Structure 1
Amino acid sequence: MLHILFVCTGNTCRSPMAEGLLRKLAKEREIELEVRSAGVSAISGTSISRHAAAILQEEGIHEHLESSQLTGQSVAWADLVLTLTSGHKQHLLQYFPDALTKTYTLKEYVHNEEAVTKDIKELDSLYADAELSIALGGEPNATDLQRMIEIRQRIPSFDISDPFGGTREDYELTAAEIRNALFSLLDKLESLRHL
């Protein structure tokens, strides 16, 4: 069974909505998976936002979700780590570099354009090399830094909008963005299952 971990900031809005929605949609399609979520700056045990909870309830999802802090244990548990923004992904890889091969933003993972995928892999590698240089007390390679800038300018945004502190409509828009990406995710998982 595939284990999927969603990661956002506080684990009170985006990642719990993704967790609850994916669990429901996967069950409807009879795809077996386990889903959890966590936040890079979460306070474990905090209730999810009232708008996120209301959206999940309208979807028929009545489970009680609480925030949890991202830990090495949760990253190790996951077969696939899907962050809600590239910032979350970079933060996660800074602390858990061994998760590089299984960590993507949600939109990046379901994206289908080969040239963009190649750019993302190169950018991730350059970012890891730069972090290693800094960790060893050195400076990142100037040519690599320039290359990172060039690649970043070409890559479309794979971030899911943050509704935190916003209106119910903001949460609805974010939920729709997540739902669309989850439909593509399930399509991808189904096609991988049939290989």
Structure 2
Amino acid sequence: MVRVLFVCTGNTCRSPMAEKLFRQMAQEHMLAAEARSAGVAAADGTPMSKHAATVIREAGCPTEHRSRSLEQEDVDWADLILTMTQGHKRTILQMFPYTVEKVYTLQEYAWNDSEQKQMRMEWEAFMAELQTKQALGETIAPAEHERMQQLADHLRDDDIADPFGGTEEHYRIVAEEIRYAVDKLVRKLAQDAGGGAST
């Protein structure tokens, strides 16, 4: 049994859509899994946004949902924490540093690109080094600025944009992006579990 926690900002759009789609696809692939969702800045008890509910209903998923704020109990429960953006991932790592081995963006984990993973680690280490220099009042050299830009240019954008305030069509586009990533995720987990599905 794998336990997956999806995280976004308010837990009314992206992460509940991911949770519902994941449950549906896990069942289709006979993957033994549980799913939850939460938000790093959520108000507890808010229903799924109207457009998100419409789009998820069209996909054949139930729309019952109440937003939840991310708590330590959630991160301890999860085997895998998948965020919608790098910003959400950084927030979780700041709040719960011990989760470093199990928190990724949804797209980062679904695509499982080793070259991108290595580049992302290099980028994060490099940025931490530059932030330390700035905090100490040291000057960032032109070569360091150039390296920062080179890394940024080659990093894939793993963020799934927030559709909040957008049109129903905007939500549909975001839901399709999530659906595609969740499909790859479920196939990967099923294969890892010996289910025989391929990515």
**Residue matched to 1:166:** 166
Pair 1:79 & 2:83 matched: no
Shift of 1:123: 3.5
**Residue matched to 2:191:** 191
Shift of 1:94: 1.2
Deviations 1:38-96 (A, max 9, x none): 11110011111011111222222225111100111111111100000111111111111
The TM-score normalised by the length of structure 2 is 0.85
Aligned partner of residue 6 in structure 2, secondary structure: strand
Q: Quick check: 109-118 or 71-80, which moved more?
A: 109-118
Question: Gaps spanning 5+ residues in structure 1: where?
Answer: none
Question: Gaps spanning 5+ residues in structure 2: where?
Answer: none
**Residue matched to 1:35:** 35
Counterpart code for 1:173: I
Q: In 2 relative to 1, CA 127–73 (structure 1 residues): closer, same or farther, beyond 3 Å?
A: farther
Deviations 1:140-192 (A, max 9, x none): 9968x866664333211001121100100000000000000011111211221
Deviations 1:16-42 (A, max 9, x none): 000001001110111011100011110
Aligned partner of residue 56 in structure 2, secondary structure: helix
CA contact (8 A) 1:130 1:139 kept: no
Matches within 5 A, 1:44-193: 44-125=44-125, 150-193=150-193
Q: Quick check: 111-120 or 91-100, which moved more?
A: 111-120
The TM-score normalised by the length of structure 1 is 0.86
The 2-side partners of 1:130 and 1:78 are apart by 32
Counterpart code for 1:178: I
Q: Quick check: 145-154 or 160-169, which moved more?
A: 145-154
CA contact (8 A) 1:51 1:168 kept: yes
Counterpart code for 2:61: I
Shift of 1:124: 4.3
Alignment length, in residue pairs?
191
The 2-side partners of 1:105 and 1:150 are apart by 22
Q: In 2 relative to 1, CA 81–129 (structure 1 residues): closer, same or farther, beyond 3 Å?
A: farther
Aligned partner of residue 38 in structure 1, secondary structure: strand
Aligned partner of residue 101 in structure 1, secondary structure: coil
**Residue matched to 2:24:** 24
The 2-side partners of 1:92 and 1:141 are apart by 30
Q: In 2 relative to 1, CA 100–49 (structure 1 residues): closer, same or farther, beyond 3 Å?
A: same
Q: Which has the larger radius of gyration?
A: 2
Counterpart code for 1:167: T
The 2-side partners of 1:185 and 1:153 are apart by 26
The 2-side partners of 1:78 and 1:140 are apart by 40
Shift of 1:127: 5.9
CA contact (8 A) 1:105 1:158 kept: yes
Aligned partner of residue 119 in structure 1, secondary structure: helix
